[in-house]
Structure 1
Amino acid sequence: MLTANRLPRWTPAVVAAGSIAVGCGIGAAAGLRSHLQWGLISALLFLVGGYLISARVEGRRQAKDRFATSVVWVAFILAVVPLVSLTVYTIQQGIGVVNGNFLSHSMKGVIQSGPGGGIYHALLGTLQQVALATLMAAPLGLLTAVYLVEYGRGRLAKAVTFFVDVMTGVPSIVAGLFILSLWNLALGFSYSGFSGSLALAILMIPVVVRSTEEMLKLVPNELREASYALGVPKWKTILRIVLPTAIGGITTGVMLAVARITGETAPVMMLVFGADYINSNPFDGPQQSLPMYIWQQYSVVNNDFGYARAWGAALVLIAFVMGLNLIARGIARWRSPKGGH
């Protein structure tokens, strides 16, 4: 039987405020020093308290619905809090170091345990290595996805799909070992930024394939059929109709793949080696990157200057990845199909 009893819309906010107050009180009384423990207690009180109040006023059926909604909100907050905390802490630790000198100088001639130095050589190396990996992986991933969606049939398509799935879970160290064995040891090429780019491209390809494949599947078949009905060949339909329609999602997928490889350290350590000087040629000699720079600076024990430089480089790396995501969203919104009004 339906009932007219309903809790006010502000009830969850009041329950949340009360749960936080009681949770903090319990944590303080119990001598718990971690604010995370206080938060978990508050979240548990919010779930239980919200369910009991709703069950009392609205009945068990509505209470279960409110409980499920509360679980979603708690899970969302538990996911967001670490991300926000990490970003805020990185800004606090690194903002004091990031300046024009830090961005325009290398570590050449700078003592690891002393002041000074910058990340220009590491930032340049990261940009070049990621750009080379993108130039190799993006076309291969795009063409592979087009084959799987538009042409792929039979055993070959299943085999390609299987290997793409396997490559998605390949650890970065395995990709580095593969390039080290094939490119450096078997073929005899020297360590360079390009060697690292090859390993990064291997890690990037499955991400591009999967994201592009999903975007191409979202293109309505009516668009393809209308193009075929006008006598347009399949390859031209893909080039003129399918790809432009999905270009926003494809670009977003490529940018996410770029963000995924930007922070990789293991392949760079194995194949690029790192350097404290500026090397603008990714095809010759060791080259630095931001992830390896952070590891090197933080690995020096009891070095406040190195710690500060590491946090500054981490802040720049986060800003770089965030910028890529913002660009991807802007392109996706700009190139998304516009409906008529």
Structure 2
Amino acid sequence: MTELAQREVVEPLVASTVLPRTHARPDTAEVRRFTSGVRIGDLLALLGAAAAALALTTLISSQIAPMRGVLAFVVVAYALFLVVYAVLVSLDETGPVVRDRVIAVLVQSGAFLLVGTLASVLVYTVGRGFRSMLHLNMFTQDMTLAGPLDPLTRGGVMHAIVGTLIQISIALAITIPLGVTTALFLSEVPGRFARFVRTIVEAMTALPSIVAGLFILATFVLMLGFDKSGLAAGLAITVMMLPIMIRAADVVFRLVPHTLKEASLGLGAGQLRTVLHVVLPTSRSGLTTAIILATARGIGETSPVLLTAGFTASLNANPLSGPMVSLPLLTFQFVKSPQQTMVDRGFGAAVVLMGLVLVLFVLARVLGSQDVAKRAARRQRRRARAVRRQALTRRAAALVRRSAPADPDHSGSSHRSTSA
């Protein structure tokens, strides 16, 4: 090949070769672009719109149309804020971007309002019940020997705590297996009867709590002849919890991928084994959420407990006989009292109820998050710790053997036996 032909082959290859980044010229360096985060212009637009809305609302309320109350001022200021913010964003952005920013502000404002409302309720309840929570007798005594005029150093809500735990345990023991099996029937055995059951469940979701209490009172207490007790209250709470549990579990089971079920059936497993080994383990976290929702629905009921279990000031740990009070019912009875000490005890009972719900929520989350991978990792960590402990034990035994002095009597006897 001639020299001219070699140049014609090599020069295009050299020209098409991409040089490394180190040899690139400074004026052609790539500029990094950020697609997330808060820009200074967006923040200034928000602050400017808020300041303008506040100023305009103050001008309107003081000069044009006087407003009465803080709520009217806040509503007008928020409406003006949205208008001004949309105008400011429209100066630099297009129509879809303006709509997107305004909708984002609306969604974030709703979330902030929800969190603020929840925080205000919690802070107010804890602030009102803080005085009663400072005394240990609040958790260790009942109201048998305490009256409305007694100070906070006497009496407590121990009987209501025990009653709430017993009633919610009875309700959960009935609701969880019955709700899970019903949800499995609705998702795994479709048909006319399943549609009928789903309709009934959806209708029971809006059932008033007083109707549930009256139903258990009429059937379990009056017709069957049982006494008002914690068991009757647990049954009434079950009626309230069961529709929530069935609907939530049904949604969770329908979210299980069909490919997992088809793979199990394709490997020769029956429907029962597929449900036990595929559907239920996959839906563990979702079922935990369903249990939490059902518990939150039933643990705060007052009227069913009052109709089916009555009210008492003493501790009753027997769910089969005798009246049994719960924390929501005790809170209702104490807060409507004219005595300040009883009102403080009522708010203290509300704080205890919120703490109990929080403990149940955390416990359910911990138990529900234990999937197969986490259990395998936990077993592996336990094995590693056991291996390390065995290695440390062997090392300590070796050090003891090395540092132990030789026994002169034993060495002498061994020497004499060797000589003999």
Structure-2-length-normalised TM-score: 0.74
- SS of the equivalent of 2:283 reads helix
Matched to 2:111, the amino acid is: F
1:61 and 1:207 map into 2 onto residues whose CA distance is 39
1:225 and 1:285 map into 2 onto residues whose CA distance is 53
Instruction: Count how many residue pairs are aligned between Structure 1 and Structure 2.
Output: 330
Contact 2:164 2:326 in 1 (8 A): yes
Matched to 2:121, the amino acid is: L
Partner of 2:41 in structure 1? Answer: 8
1:40 aligns with 2:75: yes
Q: Which moved more, 1:225-234 or 1:169-178?
A: 225-234
Q: From 120, 124, 127, give the equivalent of 1:92.
A: 127
Q: From 207, 213, 217, give the equivalent of 2:244.
A: 207
RMSD of the alignment, in Å?
2.3
Q: From 232, 254, 276, give the equivalent of 1:239.
A: 276
Partner of 1:289 in structure 2? Answer: 326
Matched to 2:168, the amino acid is: V
Question: How far apart are residue 147 of structure 1 and its match?
Answer: 0.7
Q: From 81, 93, 96, give the equivalent of 1:61.
A: 96
2:174 and 2:331 map into 1 onto residues whose CA distance is 26
Partner of 2:159 in structure 1? Answer: 121
Question: How far apart are residue 110 of structure 1 and its match?
Answer: 0.8
CA distance 1:96–1:65, change in 2 (3 Å): same
Q: For 1:254-292, what per-residue CA distance to the aligned partner results, in whole angstroms no more than 9, with x for missing partners?
A: 122111111000101101102100001111100111011
Matched to 1:195, the amino acid is: A
CA distance 1:10–1:70, change in 2 (3 Å): same
2:336 and 2:56 map into 1 onto residues whose CA distance is 39
Q: From 223, 228, 232, give the equivalent of 1:191.
A: 228
1:325 aligns with 2:361: yes
1:313 aligns with 2:346: no
CA distance 1:88–1:220, change in 2 (3 Å): same
1:267 aligns with 2:304: yes
Q: From 93, 105, 115, give the equivalent of 1:70.
A: 105
Q: Which moved more, 1:10-19 or 1:247-256?
A: 10-19
CA distance 1:289–1:24, change in 2 (3 Å): farther
Q: Which has the larger radius of gyration?
A: 2
Gaps of 5+ in 1: 1-5
Q: 1:121-160, aligned counterparts within 5 Å?
A: 121-151=159-189, 153-160=190-197
Q: For 1:199-230, what per-residue CA distance to the aligned partner results, in whole angstroms no more than 9, with x for missing partners?
A: 10011111111111111111111111111111
Partner of 2:409 in structure 1? Answer: none
Question: How far apart are residue 235 of structure 1 and its match?
Answer: 0.3
Bigger relative contact order (CA 8 A; separation at least 6):
1
CA distance 1:85–1:278, change in 2 (3 Å): same
Q: For 1:71-125, what per-residue CA distance to the aligned partner results, in whole angstroms no more than 9, with x for missing partners?
A: 1122222222211110111111112211421011100121123323111000100
- SS of the equivalent of 2:212 reads helix
Contact 2:230 2:323 in 1 (8 A): yes
